[in-house]
Structure 1
């Protein structure tokens, strides 16, 4: 992916690595149906324009509740990914 952006002299590859990593981590995998970032952090990557300040601030709530919810959602995402991988393996075996 980096080769698409690097100059002909191939001297600026390190400049484009963060962009390539962001694109890779934000792309959905055909086997799991989730991006690597969704599986690891239970959320999708935000694009730079989504990082601009918003007009309001949202509260996460009590940290313990947030943590319990996050752990539960991550476990559910892991199970969904395992099922999707099994289904993908069965499809590829045919």
Structure 2
């Protein structure tokens, strides 16, 4: 009887320890999953920001060239387009002037 009670007590202790270790590992996986999700959201926000910024820069140049060409068609040949970008579209603006 005492031996059986000793085994039962040992089994409960082992089960409790295993449960604690298992729960600790589950919590670590959940924390890692949340961290990865947050990092992916940050990366997605950066990519969207870069896309929108480049799109706006290109559209600003196209809009400025469109306005200048409309003024040139109406007879105002002294209109110049001035933009601060130095990329390929900036070279197009320089050639347009």
Q: In which range does the TM-score fall when normalised by the shorter chain?
A: 0.3 to 0.5
- What's the TM-score once normalised by structure 2's chain length? 0.33
Q: Which has the larger radius of gyration?
A: 2
More helix by share: 2
Q: RCO (CA 8 Å, sep 6+): is it higher in 1 or 2?
A: 1
- What's the TM-score once normalised by structure 1's chain length? 0.34
